[in-house]
Copies of this chain bind each other. A is one copy, B any other.
């Protein structure tokens, strides 16, 4: 951490700052300039985390220089992408994995039809929400355990491993009993109780970026899960909230290569929520894979017009087939398989 002192700081004030820092086991290094005095703090910066430096007389500004995450940082894993196996597929390897399925599990019939179809087109996982977070308390919020049972049966038939969302720490174990991968949704990226809970389970976690989360926030959320012992985390960029009114969210594509440099965790994209419109799913998918994404999660519904949620952004079964066919060349261009 670097502390910049106000112009006119007194020698007593400067000494006091150094004492505070050194009392925490760090060393200090003072550079006195004409206009500013700089105090470099050397050692374990995290010990300074809770200290309200700006409250100390003479301090003008404070600059952390260490990354606040450790387990999620790139060099923790000797600079290679962590592999996260789900079923018999693996995130973080050569293949881009595509998870596909409806927003909500609506009934067994539609799930079976969807599962068979997306499996045939090359999807690696089946997605579907049994517990649904909804902005309005009056909206359909999922079939709960009945939905999980349906997912498990469709997995049995299709061989596709299943990813589904956990909303409440009390449901985490139940869901882990059915699902192959646990999704933490956008609205829960900083639900720390939930992050700790899935950190204690031995199930891979799909962690979606919060709507207004910085990439550092996202990595710290992963750190919560990892610090409890579960290192199987896949990150997902799904669009952020900005002034742009034309689309549901703003797809922060550059997050993908930024994260690939900053962390060893696999990174995927959700083109369905990012754009919020069916006709944007294909171009956003191509772009994500071109930018280095390790996979995609895509909403697919056998009859989007009648979908109970997210129908506007769901692909039809045929639409998904077309996407997978067209995506192949982009994956190859990126040196990947599907």
| Chain B binder among A87-95, A111-119, A122-130, A188-196 | A188-196
A296 CB, min distance to chain B CBs, angstroms? 13
Say yes or no: A190 contacts B135, CB within 8 Å: yes
A129 CB, min distance to chain B CBs, angstroms? 13
* A227 CB contact (under 8 Å) in B54, B137, B254, B308: B137
Say yes or no: B258 contacts A220, CB within 8 Å: no
Measured between beta carbons, the chain B residues less than 8 angstroms from A307 are 50, 52, 55
A301 CB, min distance to chain B CBs, angstroms? 9
Given contacts A139-B49, A139-B50, A188-B191, contact A246 B333 (CB under 8 A): no
Say whether A75 faces chain B, with CB atoms less than 8 Å apart.
yes
Number of copies: 4
Say whether A33 faces chain B, with CB atoms less than 8 Å apart.
yes
Contact mask for chain A residues 1-42; partner B; CB cutoff 8 A; 1 contact, 0 none = 010100100000000000000000001010111111010101
Say yes or no: B241 contacts A56, CB within 8 Å: no
Which residue numbers of A lie inside 8 Å of B, CB to CB? 2, 4, 7, 27, 29, 31-36, 38, 40, 42-43, 46, 49-56, 60-61, 63, 65-66, 68-69, 75, 133-141, 167-170, 187-188, 190-193, 195-196, 210-212, 214-217, 220, 223-224, 227, 240-247, 250-254, 256-258, 261, 274-275, 277-280, 283-284, 286-292, 304-305, 307-312, 314, 329-330, 332-334
